[in-house]
């Protein structure tokens, strides 16, 4: 029988309020401020839209972040309710139980509290407040204190920020949520700053009208899917404060053309960039040009379907920009393994920092893996190692397991289905399910014998 902690008095009080919506909404005027965060959390998780709406309308704190409540699935309906309930032009009487919300953060970033603690010693009352846009609360405040006069429609007393993640694939008219955001901005007569932190754009040419409503200086995570490099460059000229850039299915006619040079010059300005993901972006023999201009302390590097050559890999192994990587993913490249030394050196260089390594579908053979194994086993921080869809045999799989089980930090291994399980490995046909079951059973026994039941070995059959 499961032992469950009895509910606390607070849990019971909150449950009682949630079960009586009108009572809960009425009580918001009287309940202690300390109850707002636990009640909001419970109402959000239980999707009590009416209570959420009332809570946003009377939120007694400066900021509200939904990131800590991040759920598996996105919650467009709840976001819509919260945006609709955002009270523009907050009252000026600080003593009354009037809404004090100035920053509504609907981005999905865990790691922050639902509201920031009140710190009067700093000029930044919220850790997520916008630092870049001219319309941000901080800029409006400093402009007004400098000029001691309020510019039209931009009073620090009424300026608010709405932090969002957006996924655009067509004009804003076709995107109901985005249309709502824009109408809210319009209602605010300039006092609401729509601050987009995470932006995903698919079909760039269709999104131009939508993009004209955003200040791309605010964006920290940008992903662009399916575009020509020449059309991406103007975006990067504006999005100068990126922490993370992901470009997928990008066409570049020639590395000699101006678009590629401009792309490099924009990358070289991205001093904050920590994560770079390039996918289906053919960079054969030109990875060097991209890596050279990046900041020296990159955390994440993904190079999927980039058609990397031997000289690309060789440069990667000598490049100071990637010396502190926590994640490296070079999957889906036909890597030239005749000379494994560059990759071996790369693993040695990253042995103190690398936490996540993926080399799926890279034509990695038994011979190559056995050469790389000693360097791999020295990556003491490694938590996930993925090498699926490579032509590996069962004896090698057993051997690599022996190499990996002493690595105490390593918890997840995504392994390739050994070749003998297929009728024909190269086109992955005729998978013998029984043979695969036997493989799993053997690995399980070996993990038990190595006392590594905490280690998870999984594979994909798709």
Query: Which residue number, 199 or 373, has a Cβ lying nearer to Zn ion?
Result: 199
Smallest separation (angstroms) from Zn ion to the CB of 33: 15
The candidate with the shortest Cα–Cα distance to 196, out of 157, 235, 231, 233, is 235
Smallest separation (angstroms) from Zn ion to the CB of 219: 9
Smallest separation (angstroms) from Zn ion to the CB of 49: 23
Residue span binding Zn ion (CB under 5 A) among the ranges 140-148, 218-226, 283-291, 359-367:
218-226
Q: Which of residues 407-426 bind Zn ion (CB under 5 A)?
A: none
* 218 is a site residue for Zn ion (CB under 5 A): yes
Query: Which residue number, 116 or 419, has a Cβ lying nearer to Zn ion?
Result: 116
Residue span binding Zn ion (CB under 5 A) among the ranges 75-83, 210-218, 237-245, 293-301:
210-218
Q: Which of 51, 63, 354, 372 binds Zn ion (CB under 5 A)?
A: 63
Smallest separation (angstroms) from Zn ion to the CB of 118: 10
Query: Which residue number, 219 or 372, has a Cβ lying nearer to Zn ion?
Result: 219
Distance from the Cα of residue 216 to its chain's centroid:
17
Smallest separation (angstroms) from Zn ion to the CB of 109: 11
Smallest separation (angstroms) from Zn ion to the CB of 119: 10
CA 221, CA 201: separation in Å to the nearest integer?
11
Residue span binding Zn ion (CB under 5 A) among the ranges 55-63, 343-351, 354-362, 425-433:
55-63
* Contact between residue 354 and residue 325 where contact means Cβ atoms under 8 Å apart: yes
Residue span binding Zn ion (CB under 5 A) among the ranges 193-201, 258-266, 357-365, 382-390:
193-201
Query: Which residue number, 133 or 333, has a Cβ lying nearer to Zn ion?
Result: 133
The candidate with the shortest Cα–Cα distance to 306, out of 315, 297, 298, is 315
Q: Which of 24, 66, 78, 116 binds Zn ion (CB under 5 A)?
A: 116
Query: Which residue number, 67 or 418, has a Cβ lying nearer to Zn ion?
Result: 67
* Contact between residue 335 and residue 364 where contact means Cβ atoms under 8 Å apart: yes
Q: Which of residues 370-409 bind Zn ion (CB under 5 A)?
A: none
Q: Which of residues 117-156 bind Zn ion (CB under 5 A)?
A: 126, 130, 133
Q: Which of 24, 106, 185, 195 binds Zn ion (CB under 5 A)?
A: 195
Query: Which residue number, 133 or 355, has a Cβ lying nearer to Zn ion?
Result: 133
Residue span binding Zn ion (CB under 5 A) among the ranges 87-95, 110-118, 314-322, 335-343:
110-118
Query: Which residue number, 130 or 242, has a Cβ lying nearer to Zn ion?
Result: 130
Residue span binding Zn ion (CB under 5 A) among the ranges 10-18, 90-98, 113-121, 173-181:
113-121
> What residue ranges bind Zn ion (CB under 5 A)?
63, 116, 126, 130, 133, 195, 218
């Amino acid at each position: 029988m499961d032992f469950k902690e009895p509910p606390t008095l607070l849990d019971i009080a909150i449950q009682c309020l949630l079960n009586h919506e009108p009572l809960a909404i009425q009580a918001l005027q009287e309940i202690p401020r300390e109850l707002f965060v636990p009640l909001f959390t419970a109402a959000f998780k239980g999707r009590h839209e009416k209570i959420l709406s009332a809570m946003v309308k009377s939120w007694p704190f400066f900021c509200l972040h939904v990131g800590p409540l991040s759920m598996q699935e996105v919650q467009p309906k709840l976001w819509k309710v919260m945006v609709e309930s955002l009270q523009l032009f907050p009252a000026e009487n600080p003593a009354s139980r009037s809404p004090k919300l100035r920053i509504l953060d609907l981005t999905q970033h865990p790691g922050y509290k639902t509201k920031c603690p009140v710190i009067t010693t700093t000029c930044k009352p919220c850790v997520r407040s916008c630092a870049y846009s001219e319309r941000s609360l901080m800029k409006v405040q400093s402009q007004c204190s400098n000029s001691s006069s309020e510019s039209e429609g931009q009073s620090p007393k009424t300026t608010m920020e709405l932090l969002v993640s957006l996924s655009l694939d067509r004009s804003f008219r076709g995107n109901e949520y985005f249309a709502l955001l824009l109408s809210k901005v319009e209602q605010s007569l300039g006092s609401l700053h729509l601050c987009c932190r995470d932006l995903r754009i698919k079909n760039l040419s269709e999104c131009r009208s939508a993009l004209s409503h955003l200040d791309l200086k605010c964006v920290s995570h940008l992903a662009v899917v399916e575009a020509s490099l020449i059309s991406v460059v103007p975006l990067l000229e504006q999005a100068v404060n990126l922490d993370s850039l992901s470009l997928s299915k990008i066409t570049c006619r020639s590395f000699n053309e101006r678009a590629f040079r401009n792309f490099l010059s924009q990358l070289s300005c991205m001093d904050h960039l920590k994560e770079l993901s390039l996918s289906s972006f053919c960079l054969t023999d030109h990875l060097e040009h991209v890596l050279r201009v990046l900041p020296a302390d990159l955390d994440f590097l993904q190079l999927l379907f980039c058609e990397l050559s031997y000289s690309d890999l060789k440069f990667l192994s000598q490049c100071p920009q990637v010396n502190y990587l926590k994640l490296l993913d070079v999957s889906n490249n036909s890597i030239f393994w005749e000379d494994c030394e560059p990759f071996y050196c790369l693993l040695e260089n990253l042995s103190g920092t690398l936490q996540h390594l993926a080399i799926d579908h890279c034509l990695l053979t038994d011979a190559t893996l056995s050469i790389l194994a000693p360097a791999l086993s020295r990556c003491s921080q490694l938590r996930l190692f993925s090498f699926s869809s490579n032509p590996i045999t069962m004896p090698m799989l057993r051997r690599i397991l022996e190499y990996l089980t002493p690595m105490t930090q390593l918890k997840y291994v995504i392994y390739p289905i050994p070749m003998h399980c297929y009728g024909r490995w190269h086109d992955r046909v005729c998978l013998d399910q029984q043979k695969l079951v036997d493989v799993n059973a053997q690995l399980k026994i070996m993990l038990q014998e190595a006392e590594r039941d905490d280690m998870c070995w999984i594979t994909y059959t798709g």
